[in-house]
Amino acid sequence: MIVVSQDEKGLKGAMLELLEQELQPQLDADDVAQLSDEALADRAPANNYSPGYFVRIDYLLQLEGMIAAGARLELFADEITGLRAIKLARAEFAREHPACGNCGEAQYTRFARRCHACSTEFRKAG
């Protein structure tokens, strides 16, 4: 049996999934009305982790917020594991979705040539 609170790889993956979901453009009611059921299903966010992972991540984010606010807490080993998983997920997300140098918006892909938010053109690397 997998213990969610000790599954660093799973927590990291679930956190990445949450970050990816936040990046997806939101559909408004008109968009939804025009799309077929199949097209909507294709746009549904990936959900590869059981709800327990997201409950745990919610807890870890609250814990992280308390620490950031200056709370001095003694952490359990699985809390440290979880906080590390969140940090690793954010780092991976930042690599895959670099922020625009102009507006700071995370890009859909690191290969973007133009910011989807402010239309700033990105220089090609190299």
Select from 103, 109, 110, 114 the one that contacts Zn ion (CB under 5 A).
103
Between 85 and 100, name the residue whose CB sits nearer to Zn ion.
Answer: 100
Closest approach, Cβ 126 to Zn ion, in A, equals 21
Alpha-carbon span 3 to 74, nearest angstrom: 21
- Residue 124 CB: number of other CB atoms within 10 A? 6
Confirm or reject binding of residue 115 to Zn ion (CB under 5 A).
Answer: yes
Please tell me whether residue 117 binds Zn ion under the rule CB under 5 A. Answer: yes
Q: Which is nearer to Zn ion, 2 or 118 (CB)?
A: 118
Residues 66-100 as b/e (b if ≥16 CB within 10 A, e otherwise) read eeeeeeeeeeeebbebbbebbebbeeebeebbeeb
Q: Which is nearer to Zn ion, 27 or 118 (CB)?
A: 118
Rounded to a whole number of angstroms, the minimum distance from the CB of residue 125 to Zn ion is 17
Q: Of the ranges 10-18, 19-27, 88-96, 103-111, which one interacts with Zn ion (CB under 5 A)?
A: 103-111
SS3 7: coil
Give the span between the Cα atoms of 31 and 42, in whole angstroms.
14
100 binds Zn ion, rule: CB under 5 A: yes
Measured CA angle at 87 (ends 62, 56), to 5 deg? 40
Residue numbers at the binding site for Zn ion (CB under 5 A): 100, 102-103, 105, 115, 117-118, 120
